[in-house]
Chain A
Amino acid sequence: MLNFKINLNEIDKIGKFSKEEKDFRLKNLNYFNNVGFPNKKQEDWKFSDLREIVSKNFSKLNIKSSEQEKSKINFIKDFEHNYIVVINGRLTVSDFRFEENDKIKLKSFTNNDFADRKENNPLINLNHALSDKGFFLEIEENYKFKKILVIYNLFTNDLNEIILNSKNKIKIGKNSELHTLNLIINQSEKNFFNNVYENVVLEKAAILKNICVQNNKSSGYFHKYSKHELSNASNLTTFIFPSGLKFNKLDLEFNLNGENCECNLQSASFLNKIDHQEIKTRVNHNSPNCKSYQKVKNVLDSESKGIYQGKIFVKDVAQKTDAYQLSKAILLSERSEFDSKPELEIYADDVKCSHGSSSGSLDKDSIYYLMTRGLSENESVELLVNGFLSEVIESIKSDSMKNFLKKKLADQLNGYKKN
């Protein structure tokens, strides 16, 4: 077994820092080194023993390497868009050709929040200690983007036994609106770990619609912690379409801080082989009259494992909360596994909260019906799985985006073979 404690002088290799920052990084690295990669003894990680996964698949973890900064990108041709290119976590180029450029600020991320918080998730400490890249995007007040912003997140083929730590922040000003497509393109066939800390801030009446798509399967191990802050009357919609990775954990926190805000999270995943994917959410209803909606759909084949841990917290002042949570899973193989842990913690009395969870195999009668119409068993399964997952896509308004996502899903399911 490997010892994944990280030497304190690794921090000096990343860069030169002020005393305050250096202390912050050291403190966080010490936190991490005390706990290490989380294992299933920790409540939040009981379905994802990361320590085991890392020690099984990595012989070492480099912090700093001289990975590529350039790579060829196949830009999307299906629709016009602005773009940002992020390579291995580092911001490289951007193009806002459809927008008023003075309304947009984009730069490499520099952290200046060195407050000492004991994080519950050691990977956040690790990120605080070692993060050396990422971007900060800020949209001024009263500006509505005319075209979608595509964030191309590229991982180059020379990544190997390395851990990348990056921090991103997106801030949307009062009454402004942004739509993004976060496209993760992975070219590495070797093992690497990507650890992201993300902070999304929506000011009053701001709107963010975000679609996150993993373009392809890969050997990446991904962890992302994402913290969303919503002010009065703001509106956040997130769609997540993962491709299935050996490890992918999304730890998403939504703070509904202002009144009348709304957050909507939907996800559709097709997992196979030994994919391991966890979506963990925490929705904090901190104010009255807010709405939250979550729908997580998974189809699992072979020996894949899917997890959904969803917690809804309603503070005593958050009256008239309307919170909804639904998880549905289809297991195509007896060796696949789906775990779901819904949790409600409610301190207000006038609230509407509901959650539901179901998992099971595909309906045999449906397969029979389709086969009597000439479709093979595999084709029938493919059609049913596609139907189950594309329901999430159907709720996206833009037709060009819908078609784009349907194509991606079809590629993923193409030539489904029952094992």
Chain B
Amino acid sequence: MLSIKNLSASINNKEILKGVNINIKPGELHAIMGPNGSGKSTLANVLSGREGYKVSGELKYQGKNLNEISIDERAQKGIFLAFQYPTEIPGVNTRNFLKTSFNKVRKAQGKKELDALSFLKILKEKSNELGMDEKMLSRQLNVGFSGGEKKKNEILQMKILEPNLVILDETDSGLDIDALKIVADGVNSSRNDKKSFLVITHYQRLLNFIKPDFVHVLADGKIVKSGTSELAIQLEKTGYKGIN
């Protein structure tokens, strides 16, 4: 699904990723942990196609080179990034935005666009599953949403867009215990042998709910250790100083 080979990225002449290697197969869920500032969000941004980075190394998604593909095309091809800090966008109605995005991605994938009514049905179902208040969908996109509400809105988009590769950047941070469970259920229910996940988190707690196949530790722009879910449990005890 995704193969990252010797990936380096720098911004403003500062090297942040310094040769990252990860290989994710269809159906796998990988977790990335690591200290603040180690480059986790940068990795997520680079995967989404964000501009402004000087990138070298190899990025392959479904066998195709990602480097030349624009942000929107990556999304249309099924890459989804749930933001650590979702952007507040004044003036844009959440529901309308979701519909535009949904149909845009569908159209690009050669599927039929849905009319307002059919879409609203799907939206209602998915937002109910997440226990979201429907009134929120009438508001401006993310504007004034609480931290947890923003995260749920990201997961809602994940559920609606049905991507192949999901990158969750600290989606668990800021969620209360119930919300964490709901979000984890959301992830688990969309797991299948075709979809892959890259889950960035600081907390082993999340990984109790979402079982990772692999755990990687990113420190100072490099993967310094990889293992199974045992690694997360060990980290919880020893901290990042305890590895190597």
Contacts and interface: CB of A to CB of B under 8 A. Distances in A.
- Interface core residue of B81, B86, B87, B93 (most chain A CB under 10 Å): B87
Given A375-B72, A383-B97, A365 B87 contact: yes
Contacts of B48: 372
Interface string B63-77: 000000011101110
A387 B92 CA distance: 5
Contacts of B97: 370, 373, 383
A248 to B, nearest CB: 24
Interface string A364-408: 011011111111110100011011111100000000000000000
Interface residues on A, range: 20 to 34
Interface in A17-72: none
Contacts of B228: none
Nearest to B77: A374
A389 B140 CA distance: 14
A375 B101 contact: yes
- Interface core residue of A371, A373, A388, A391 (most chain B CB under 10 Å): A373
Contact of B89 (A376, A379, A387): A387
A387 B91 contact: yes
Contacts of B80: 372
B60 interface: no
Contacts of A369: 83, 86-87, 89
- Interface core residue of B71, B74, B93 (most chain A CB under 10 Å): B71
Contacts of A375: 72, 100-101, 104
B50 A374 contact: no
B118 to A, nearest CB: 18
Contact of A379 (B70, B74, B104): B104
Nearest to A388: B91
A368 B50 CA distance: 7
A394 B186 CA distance: 34
Given A376-B72, A377-B72, A370 B89 contact: yes
A370 B83 CA distance: 12
A368 to B, nearest CB: 6
Contacts, number: 71
A377 B71 CA distance: 9
B81 A372 contact: yes
B101 A374 contact: yes
Interface residues on B, range: 20 to 34
Contacts of A365: 87
A374 B105 contact: yes
Contacts of A384: 89, 91-92
B239 interface: no
- Interface core residue of A369, A377, A391 (most chain B CB under 10 Å): A369
A407 to B, nearest CB: 14
B214 to A, nearest CB: 24
B84 interface: no
A366 B89 contact: yes
Nearest to B93: A387
B42 to A, nearest CB: 14
Contacts of B140: 387
Interface in B157-203: 157, 161
A373 B89 contact: no
Contacts of A389: 91
A234 B81 CA distance: 53
A14 to B, nearest CB: 48
A369 B50 CA distance: 9
B35 interface: no
B90 interface: yes
Contacts of B91: 384, 386-391
A381 to B, nearest CB: 12
Contacts of B71: 368, 371-372
B242 to A, nearest CB: 35
- Interface core residue of B51, B90, B91, B101 (most chain A CB under 10 Å): B91
A371 B140 CA distance: 17
B108 interface: yes
A226 B126 CA distance: 53
A236 to B, nearest CB: 26
Contacts of B75: 371-374
Contacts of A377: 72
A368 B86 CA distance: 11
A398 B181 CA distance: 43
A405 to B, nearest CB: 14
15 contacts: A366-B87, A369-B83, A369-B87, A369-B89, A371-B49, A372-B48, A372-B49, A372-B81, A374-B104, A374-B105, A374-B161, A384-B89, A387-B90, A387-B93, A389-B91
Given A374-B108, A383-B100, 4 more contacts: A368-B87, A369-B86, A371-B49, A372-B48
Closest 10 CB pairs of A and B: A387-B91, A371-B71, A373-B101, A374-B75, A369-B87, A374-B105, A387-B92, A374-B104, A371-B72, A365-B87
